[in-house]
Amino acid sequence: MIRLEGVHKRFPGAGGAALDGVNLAIARGEVFGIIGRSGAGKSTLVRMINGLERPSAGRVTLDGVDVAALAPADLRALRRRVGMIFQGFGLLSSATAAQNIALPLRIAGTPAREVAARVAELLGMVGLTDHADKYPAQLSGGQKQRVGIARALATRPDVLLCDEATSALDPETTRDVLALIAALNRDLGLTIVLITHEMDVVRQVCGRVAVLHAGKVVESGATVDVVLDPRHAETRSLLAEEGGAPSYRHSFAGEIVRFTARGEAAAGPLISRIARETGTEIAILEGRVGHLGDTPYAQLTLGLSAGNIAAARAALAQAGVIGA
């Protein structure tokens, strides 16, 4: 549905290229993540999808239509089909929640009666019915982003672009907003492009992901594959940088292995079985266990001490993938 073909972007006066030959294809109805660190070119990339930015070379097409080639009136029409939410919310501070949500409808020339009904419906959808008449300054960050989402959905777009939509929110509010975004994808069939610098956001909602590094896509694929089996150094470093409490792996006296399992294997009592069957002491030093989409996974750092270490390693290698 959305295609980027050989997209380059160089800003006048800026040193290197912000985007350097990006190719991507995003399918209808998926939640596609784009992750990268600050300055990687993520915002530049999404902003091309609704024509806020034009490529210096290459093409960005939406349903086969070259976005940069559209006449102003057609571009405005396209923008009504493509909702966008922002890290900084971008709400009018002089307008209430309801008025902010009504704005795209007014711009589209919707009759006043329909506007009122649609705004009420949207406020309900994002759970802000009680806050309709509050100004942004009176709302929490999560509530502001819900207003932003409702505004983006007002004209019933079929694409939703999210540029760091949760970066200004705390972890719990982030989960709420991501759950709402996932529900929109599921219930309305919305195609969602989600920009983030947090791997955890990708894990929570994205079916597929592309890793952007210095203006290039260095890795892309299903989230399960990219997260559990990262190929590029940038992906690994993004994964490694996810905080978490410092583990005591460095003080562990014994053999340390990184172990990743997915599917059936990850769902069962794998570690305790291997420990028992091989008679090995296995300590879990670090780990993450959960689901990526429908796939259960376990990603663990294990410490093997007393017992049959070689047998334990062999058993682990059979159940999943082990690394250093």
Partner 1 sequence: MSGFFADIMWSDIGLATLDTLVMVSVSLVLTVLIGLPLGLALFLTGPGQAWERRWLNVALSAAVNVMRSLPFIILLIVLIPVTLALVGTSLGVAGAIVPLVAGAAPFFARLAEAALREVDRGTIEAVQALGATTRDLVLRALLPEALPGLVAATTVTAITLVSYTAMAGVVGAGGLGDLAVRYGYQRFQTDVMVVTVALMIVLVQILQMLGDRLVRRLSRR
Angle between helices 171-188 and 141-153 (to 10 degrees): 20
Bridge partner residues of 13 (DSSP): none
CA–CA–CA angle 264, 184, 157 (5° rounding): 140
Fill in the DSSP letter of residue 231.
-
Q: What is the largest CA-CA distance in the chain?
A: 76
Q: Which is nearer to partner 1, 79 or 213 (CB)?
A: 79
Say whether residue 40 binds ligand ATP (CB under 6 A). Answer: yes
Residue 49 CB, shortest distance to Mg ion, in Å, is 14
Q: Taking the CA atoms of 285, 286, 290 and 292 in sequence, report the sign of the dihedral they define.
A: negative
Name residues whose C-beta falls within 8 Å of residue 45's C-beta, 6 or more positions apart in sequence: 4, 7, 19, 22, 34, 195, 212
Q: Which is nearer to partner 1, 157 or 230 (CB)?
A: 157
Residue 2 CB, shortest distance to partner 1, in Å, is 16
Q: Is 207 left (phi over 0), alpha (psi -120 to 50) or beta?
A: alpha
Say whether residue 110 binds Mg ion (CB under 5 A). Answer: no
Using CB under 6 A, which of 33, 36, 230, 303 touches ligand ATP?
36
Nearest to 212 by CA among 188, 186, 238: 238
Using CB under 8 A, which of 25, 57, 92, 310 touches partner 1?
92
Question: Residue 89 touches which of partner 1, Mg ion, ligand ATP, none (CB < 5 to 8 A by kind)?
Answer: partner 1
Number of chain positions touching partner 1 (CB under 8 A): 30
Say whether residue 93 binds partner 1 (CB under 8 A). Answer: yes
Using CB under 6 A, which of 6, 39, 88, 124 touches ligand ATP?
39
Contacts to Mg ion by CB under 5 A = 43
Contacts to partner 1 by CB under 8 A = 50, 52, 75-80, 82, 84, 86, 88-95, 103-104, 106-108, 135-137, 148, 151, 155
